[in-house]
Amino acid sequence: MERIKPRTLSGFMELLPGKQMQFERMVDILRTTYGLYGFAPLDTPAIEDAQILLAKGGGETEKQIYRFQKGDSDLALRFDLTVPLAKYVALHYNDLAFPFRRFQISKVYRGERAQRGRFREFYQADIDVIGDGKLDILNEAEIPAIIYRVFTGFGLSRFQIRVNNRKILNGFYAMQALQEQSGDVMRTVDKLEKIGPENVRKILTVDLSIPEEKADAVLKFISIQGTNAEVLTALEGYRGNNELFDKGLDELQAVTKNLSAFGVPEDNFAVDLTIARGLDYYTGTVYETTLLDHPEIGSVCSGGRYDDLAGYYTDRPLPGVGISIGLTRLFYVLDEQGLLNPALPSAPADVLILPMTEDLAPAISLAESLRSNGIRVQLYGEQKKFKQKMSYADKLGVPFVILLGEDELMQGKCTVKNMVSGQQVLLTAEEAADHIFAGKYAGPVILEK
Amino acid sequence: MERIKPRTLSGFMELLPGKQMQFERMVDILRTTYGLYGFAPLDTPAIEDAQILLAKGGGETEKQIYRFQKGDSDLALRFDLTVPLAKYVALHYNDLAFPFRRFQISKVYRGERAQRGRFREFYQADIDVIGDGKLDILNEAEIPAIIYRVFTGFGLSRFQIRVNNRKILNGFYAMQALQEQSGDVMRTVDKLEKIGPENVRKILTVDLSIPEEKADAVLKFISIQGTNAEVLTALEGYRGNNELFDKGLDELQAVTKNLSAFGVPEDNFAVDLTIARGLDYYTGTVYETTLLDHPEIGSVCSGGRYDDLAGYYTDRPLPGVGISIGLTRLFYVLDEQGLLNPALPSAPADVLILPMTEDLAPAISLAESLRSNGIRVQLYGEQKKFKQKMSYADKLGVPFVILLGEDELMQGKCTVKNMVSGQQVLLTAEEAADHIFAGKYAGPVILEK
């Protein structure tokens, strides 16, 4: 037979079983946490009509999209979960209750140039709350609580949820009569951390021809820092000059006001006036989340409030707020930085049962009884030497092995061996279940250094 | 703005939130059950190199596959989970421990002609055990236990796991010197239930020109029925005439021998000599699973033992055994037959909190405290009339609503309303968590009639 060399396409993540277990744990935490906040799981097709996916059209999206014909159909793979959500809400509008809260953790596809750490197929883990015409600010205020519970759920404490409000930015630029140039200004200001205030000032005054006093006003504004209370007080100084600004400030106050009721510590939260989230799409609160010890990773969870989810498909105004986690990239970076907890069990089973008797019925019954107690059991039936069986157990990384021979059977017990300590104990099936449960490692997915 | 009419492609399942919750429950049961048997979760890319996916080539597959170019790459969407598994095992051979047990619950793609109940994108829920050169029969014997636990987990009792062995069939046809025609004969025999023995006999003797006495021998053989013991006894009558047959019979005995230790009742299991599972791929035990009250659905879980998983990619012999559930179609049929339990909660939250005070902090704290107790909580912040809020709760289908006004706050309590009974009770946060937990419906996903 002619053989084809097996390979996986570059830019596509394919994990070994142990790593996959870690990844699944992160997905589980996301699913559970999103569920606790009343989001419904959603699962839209990966393939959509290309006309629909590209309704907005243009730019990078069009170049990166996987688009193809099948019969007469012009098809494409989704490049994010927001456009399919917009289609879903417009299509099923009459069957949904608003506010409509959904989460979706699914793969999306972008045919980008392959490079290290960039993926062509990757998971996004999104939540969105969609209102019918209106949406209360409480929904925006709740988002940091969700982000906080997700990342503490992962095992992290050294992260910061950064929040800003687009109305404050747009209002401020209007005050300075810079609204025409606000896009360019925001893009420049966004580079503050990278290039420093002097270079920002240079670009503003030279490249964008903004008068010096206005450039200074911009620099002064974006350098407002401190505790939430300090930033809000400084912003109060601008109140009364622009209606949009004042509305944005009210919203920001509403978002910060109940942080402690939401259980979000001040340490994990900051009002940050430099955050704009490029897209014109956002109209209110915007969010970014950074790992304090790994600023180079950039934002690991971003999003914001928007006014018009589905304008390409319906004339109903559908405002919303949402966040997205690029899970595949996050996992890749965490792994590369050595932040995935190596102590987490990576074996597909909690225990490997090695039957030592001709009659397999007792070993099978024991396996089924442990499974009924929630223990993940692999029954080993291969005809191998004892040493090979134990080395298989080692390679799998199972925390426990059960030996079941004539001696054990006569006593109605089994020998449970702890593969880390080497300790062996003789136990009944019920005791074995308790023993293995008690030995389960319950540490976090991510281990901060 | 020019608007595009939103639509979802035909042949692609897109569920409303309530139905999606039901679907997710089935996926959870599969994931948990597969996990209990020591299968590792796997997640391979949906896109593969077309050369690799089509290594086997030919036939329907090639016509149905979604294949497209991106840059210089010839790409295709997977049409099953077996070919990607073969690639995975061949590619990562050195990093895997054998027997390698994996499950994968993922979408696959087939551009079939659209028709009712046929899907172009659908979930398969597969398990496979792959051996390195050899694989013990115990792995084949364990499969019915897994199928049994999955389907009872769904809430079913009226189903039957039907088992046969390809070696018995091939051995029998060799005894009759019919091995040249065994493919045609098996395909004909497969129609027995549909067309009856007379018509099977006619096709065998007329269309296939098989001598009458041989046709009668075939019909006699496949009409062997009864309890497992009866069928095995009847098969013993053929022993000693063909080595392959005898080996198959030994295997079938090994598979049926420990059924009760595996916890599989005789009622849910049958040796059925008419099952062949078309593909030449299978070489030992083959499985089908039927719903006794819905034979028209056909097999809902099928698979078998094969000798050569990855011959297109590697010269290592990799035997295995696996089963597959076509989850999307199963869900569709169950729904259409009205078998999905309507009593299962379809709401994304266990409770909707309606704050009735200006200060939202107490409602927020209550929500977070309930969430920390594992209750799924939606906090309602929209400015609506009370009646509209309650009708939203109704539309969502939440089992409980919490009212939190000044009265409740003064007493450090909240009013918990049961939306089904209408009963209202005044409780502390902790009592409320217990009350809501106790009120959770724990019935099965599928309700037999």
Q: Where does the pLDDT of residue A449 fall: very low under 50, low under 70, confident under 90, or very high at 90 and above?
A: confident
- Chosen from B19, B21, B47 to mutate, greatest number of chain A CBs within 10 A: B47
Q: Bridge partners of A68? A: A75
CA dist B234 → B220, B222, B230, B271 (Å) = 11, 11, 6, 12
Which residues in chain B have Cβ-Cβ distances shorter than 8 Å to A352? 38
Percent of chain B with pLDDT over 90: 85
Which class for B110: exposed (0-12), middle (13-18), buried (19 or more C-beta within 10 A)? buried
pLDDT of residue A1: 65
Give the best residue of B382, B389, B437 to mutate against chain A (max A CB count within 10 A). Answer: B382
Q: Which of B112, B77, B49 is nearest to A71 (CA)?
A: B112
A7, A142, A313: residue with CB nearest B3: A313
pLDDT score, position B1: 65
Residue A195: Cβ within 10 Å count: 12
Task: Please enumerate in sequence order all residues whose Cβ is within 8 A of that of B323, keeping only pairs 6 or more positions apart, or say none.
Answer: B126, B127, B143, B146, B147, B287, B301, B302, B303, B304
> Rounded mean pLDDT of chain A?
94
| Nearest-CB residue to B38 (from A51, A376, A382) | A376
What is the reported pTM?
A: 0.96
pLDDT exceeds 80 at position A2: no
- pLDDT at position A186 is 85
pLDDT band at A190 (very low <50, low <70, confident <90, very high): confident
Residue A61 confidence (pLDDT): 78
pLDDT given for residue A297 in this prediction: 86
Averaged over A416-441, what is the pLDDT? 95
Please give, rounded to a whole number of angstroms, the shortest distance from the CA of A208 to a CA of chain B: 31
User: Taking Cα atoms as reference points, which of A2, A256, A275, A270 lies closest to residue A140?
Assistant: A256
pLDDT of residue A62: 81
**Could you write out the DSSP letters of every residue in B288-313?**
EEEETT-GGG--SSEEEEES-S-TTT
pLDDT tens digits, residue range B283-339?
999 999 999 998 888 899 999 999 999 999 999 999 999 999 999 999 999 999 999
Mean pLDDT, rounded, for A179-208: 89
d(CA A267, CA A306): 27
Q: Which pLDDT band holds residue B363 (cuts at 50, 70, 90)?
A: very high
Q: pLDDT value at position A191?
A: 84
Q: pLDDT tens, A264-283?
A: 999 999 999 988 877 678 99
Lowest mean pLDDT across A290-294, A295-299, A316-320, B84-88: A295-299
Q: Which helix or strand (DSSP H or E) is residue A74 part of? A: strand A73-77
First and final C-alpha spacing in chain B: 51
Which residues from chain B sit within 8 angstroms of residue A314, using beta carbons?
3, 6
Helix (H) or strand (E) holding A320: strand A320-326
Q: What is the pLDDT of residues A27-50, one digit of tens each?
A: 999 999 999 999 999 999 999 999
Tell me the residue ranges of DSSP E strands in A80-188: 100-109, 121-130, 159-165
The pLDDT assigned to B183 comes to: 84
Residue A279's pLDDT is 63
- What is the pLDDT at residue B368? 98
C-alpha distance from residue A442 to each of A432, B21, B373 (Å): 18, 28, 18
Instruction: For residues B402-413, give the mean pLDDT.
Output: 96
Q: How confident is the model at residue B153 (pLDDT cuts 50, 70, 90)?
A: very high
Residues B43-57 pLDDT 10s: 999 999 999 999 887
Does residue A133 surpass a pLDDT of 70?
yes
Interface residue of A376, A390, A400, A409 to substitute, partner B, most B CBs within 10 Å: A376
The answer to whether B313 faces chain A, any CB pair under 8 Å, is yes
Query: What pLDDT sits at residue A194?
Result: 84
pLDDT value at residue B117:
80
Work out the mean pLDDT of chain B and round it to a whole number: 94
What's the pLDDT band for A187 if we cut at 50, 70, 90? confident
Kindly state whether B113 is in contact with chain A, defined as any CB-CB distance less than 8 angstroms: no
* Residues in chain A within 8 Å Cβ distance of B51: 4
CA separation for the pair A286, A190 (Å, rounded): 13
In tens, the pLDDT along B103-149 reads: 999 999 999 877 888 899 999 999 999 999 999 999 999 999 999 99
- Tokens 């490997």 appear where? A352
**DSSP strand E in B393-441: where?**
400-404, 414-418, 424-427
Chain A residues 346-405 within an 8 A CB cutoff of chain B: 348-349, 352, 360-362, 364-365, 368, 371, 374-379, 381-383, 392, 395-396
What percent of chain B is modeled with pLDDT above 70?
A: 99
